[in-house]
């Protein structure tokens, strides 16, 4: 019954999103496209933190590498849209493999510190390589069209960008939804809940952490590549640690370890930020900080967890 309701809700959400471009204006379509892309990034972080218990402050590294990989593949190598997407993912995958070999062996606060340092190092490297990255000024490029037979769908059209992002994010969500329900996903959860117990039982904890780290990094790179292709612009700000902090906030706000939580958190906080930019430009950090503190106190499992508890209480009465 629970799974059927979740599937029905998911199908309804996708159906609503599918018809949205025909109801909204260009700005609203672009705004929702941004939410979809950043939600994919938050989903990748949820696999690492929400399901495996690894709090990384360097997740932006893989997002930035994916974005720059895709952008440079188009601007410098003149590759197609799909090859650029694969290049962005591939670079993030290789970086996650190399970095993960070292960081997953460090536990608790050490892991957090090392990942934060990693983010800082990559940000400084990107800044120092301005001839390639163009620093904080960044650079723009033209995303190749999606070609189906004799039809070219140009990325200058916000509707094309929206549907591209919607399809990509939906497929990624389904892939992660499947993954967390496999034995591998269950092993990730066991590590999050009790790492010592997992080791005693005989799980190869370090190897499992490494796998989670690499998969999450690859999905973050995937999100970065989609960001680059839909925005047609990249800058070194994508490597900054605040991008990692955003993923943490969105995930905690919506509900870690739920997959749907980061999507909800990203969408709501994007909307709040947009609304506050009109009435109180400096209020977003203050409001988000207050809300996070309240959630930690009264709903540590986020909005999705709170909603589930309320529904459970109502059904039990």
Q: Which of 273, 278, 283, 280 is nearest to 253 (CA)?
A: 273
Answer yes or no: are the C-beta atoms of 234 and 138 closer than 8 Å. yes
Q: Which of 83, 113, 48, 34 is nearest to 273 (CA)?
A: 34
Q: Which of 268, 220, 227 is nearest to 47 (CA)?
A: 220
pLDDT attached to residue 1: 46
What average pLDDT does the segment 54-77 reach? 97
pLDDT for residue 17 is more than 70? yes
21: confidence class by pLDDT, cuts 50, 70, 90: confident
Render pLDDT for 123-171 as a digit per residue (tens, 0 to 9).
Answer: 999 999 999 999 999 999 999 988 776 567 889 899 999 999 999 999 9
pLDDT attached to residue 291: 79
What average pLDDT does the segment 293-317 reach? 76
Non-local (6+) Cβ contacts of 299 within 8 A are 305, 306
Whether pTM exceeds 0.85: yes
Burial per residue of 77-94, b for 16 or more beta-carbon CB atoms within 10 angstroms, e otherwise: eebebeebbbbbbbbbbb
Q: Which of 280, 302, 266 is nearest to 31 (CA)?
A: 266
Render pLDDT for 215-261 as a digit per residue (tens, 0 to 9).
Answer: 999 999 999 999 999 999 999 999 999 999 999 999 999 999 999 99
């Amino acid at each position: 019954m629970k799974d059927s309701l979740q599937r029905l809700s998911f199908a309804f959400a996708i159906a609503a999103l599918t018809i949205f471009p025909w109801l909204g204006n260009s700005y609203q379509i672009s705004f929702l496209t941004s939410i979809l892309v950043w939600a994919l990034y938050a989903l990748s972080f949820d696999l690492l933190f929400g399901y495996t218990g690894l709090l990384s402050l360097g997740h932006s590294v893989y997002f930035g590498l994916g974005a720059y990989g895709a952008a440079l593949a188009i601007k410098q190598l003149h590759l197609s849209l799909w090859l650029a997407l694969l290049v962005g993912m591939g670079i993030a995958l290789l970086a996650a493999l190399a970095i993960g070999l070292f960081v997953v062996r460090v536990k608790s606060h050490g892991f957090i510190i090392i990942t934060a340092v990693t983010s800082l190092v990559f940000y400084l490297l990107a800044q120092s390589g301005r001839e390639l990255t163009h620093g904080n000024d960044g650079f723009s490029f033209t995303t190749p069209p999606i070609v189906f037979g004799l039809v070219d769908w140009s990325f200058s059209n916000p509707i094309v960008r929206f549907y591209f992002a919607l399809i990509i994010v939906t497929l990624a969500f389904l892939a992660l939804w499947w993954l967390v329900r496999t034995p591998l996903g269950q092993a990730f959860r066991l590590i999050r809940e009790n790492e010592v117990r997992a080791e005693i039982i005989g799980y190869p904890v370090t190897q499992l952490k490494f796998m989670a780290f690499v998969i999450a990094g690859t999905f973050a790179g995937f999100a970065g590549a989609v960001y680059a292709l839909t925005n047609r612009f990249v800058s070194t700000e994508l490597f900054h640690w605040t991008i990692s902090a955003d993923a943490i906030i969105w995930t905690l706000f919506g509900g870690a370890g739920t997959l749907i939580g980061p999507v909800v958190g990203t969408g709501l906080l994007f909307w709040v930020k947009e609304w506050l930019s009109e009435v109180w430009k400096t209020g977003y950090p203050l409001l988000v900080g207050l809300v996070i503190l309240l959630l930690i106190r009264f709903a540590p499992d986020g909005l999705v967890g709170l909603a589930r508890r309320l529904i459970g209480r109502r059904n039990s009465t």
